[in-house]
Amino acid sequence: MASLHETYKYIADIISFKSDLAQLQDNITSKRIDWSDIVKVASDHLVLTTVYCRLKDKSLLQYLPEDLKDYLTELTTINRNRNDVLLEDITEISKLFSTNHINHVFLKGAALIISGYYEDSGERMIGDIDILVERSQVNLAKKLLITMDYLPGDILLSEKYQDKRHIPRLVNKIKLAPIEIHTELLKKKHLNKLSSKDVLIKKQYVNGVFVPHASHLLNHCILSFQINDNGNYFNSIHLKNIYDSLVITKKHQSLAIQLHDNAYQKFFLFSSIYFQDIQKPNQTLKNKILSICFVLNTQNNTIGLINTHFLKNILNMKVLINRFLLFLKDKNYRADLIQSLKQ
């Protein structure tokens, strides 16, 4: 089994726009690449269909094992068909919201697909349909979606009392993707990094749908992982978010890259280890130490697992302390917790 560092490198070489094509072909044909590792890690990072499309773009599919090529072809076809249906759903929701004067903008994968950032719609996997809605109009937006048979799912006790960026997801049993209506884009402590009000003010109308300005798309792509998914805390990367940032900056090369903030610094620092498309931040002593530690964690899978487990325990301890304090001061939480325990 290859190290995570080595697997990251091979996947990056495949999906990058600036990797050495001759070297990549040599790595594939000489069978240095362990495809089982590629499939596992690319699946975890939601870029397996991206791997297929980029290999196709680089005319390298012919060198893959036949069964793997068939599997990736089928998977990408399924994802392409799914995304085509989702585009119809997005357009339908957009018309409903616009007709009822809901100030909104589609986010993440939905915005990227609608805006044509991918030549092949099967390249990007979409989980939920994320929509940012002006806070005062959230209840109306929810009611409108209920008329389309999008209904609230069960609300976990932990979800009910946490600081929420979005209301509980709405699910239509015959639709392919749930919907998350957002009122904010980032965790409460980081709202100043990306203003939802500013995103709504500067939204763009593309192919009949409101999407964020390209600069906001890029910032949200980076910060949704770094802040909301704790990438900054764990000193980790997510290949889907990196690739999203690449396709955005490839189309909008004049976008200003923010490096004054620690979350952005780490995103570009760790991404640049694998992607020539990304310029390395200034090699300060701190950045050099962070890079060395990151590579060490990914080169040695055991060290990486221990480090991640340790950081998760610290994070879980903080959650437990916060819930204990909430239990002491909020009688509604106490009542709900006791009731759930009885059930």
pTM for this structure? Answer: 0.91
Q: Is pLDDT of 303 > 90?
A: no
> 292 with 312, same domain?
no
> 323 with 293, same domain?
no
Question: Which residue among 299, 315, 331 closes a domain?
Answer: 299
Percent of the chain with pLDDT strictly greater than 70: 93
> 234 with 306, same domain?
no
Q: Is pLDDT of 334 > 80?
A: no
Model confidence at 160, in pLDDT bands (50, 70, 90)?
low
Please count the structural domains in the chain.
2
3-class DSSP string for the chain: CCCHHHHHHHHHHHHCCCCCHHHHHHHHHCCCCCHHHHHHHHHHCCCHHHHHHHHHHCCCHHHCCHHHHHHHHHHHHHHHHHHHHHHHHHHHHHHHHHHCCCCEEECHHHHHHHCCCCCCHHHCCCCCEEEEECHHHHHHHHHHHHCCCCEECCCCHHHHHCCCCECCCEECCCCCCCEEEECCCCCHHHHHHCCHHHHHHCCEEECCEEECCHHHHHHHHHHHHHHHCCHHHHCCCCHHHHHHHHHHHHHCCCCCCCCCCHHHHHHHHHHCCCCCCCCCCCCCHHHHHHHHHHHHHHHCHHHHHHHHHHHHHHHHHHHHHHHHHHHHHCHHHHHHHHHHHHC
pLDDT, mean of residues 78-97 = 96
Which range is least confidently modeled, 104-108, 190-194, 196-200?
190-194
Q: Is pLDDT of 280 > 90?
A: no
Q: Is pLDDT of 109 > 70?
A: yes
Q: Is pLDDT of 155 > 80?
A: no
Q: Is pLDDT of 261 > 90?
A: no
> 59 with 47, same domain?
yes
pLDDT, mean of residues 72-98 = 96
> 117 with 162, same domain?
yes
Print the domain residue range for 185: 4-299
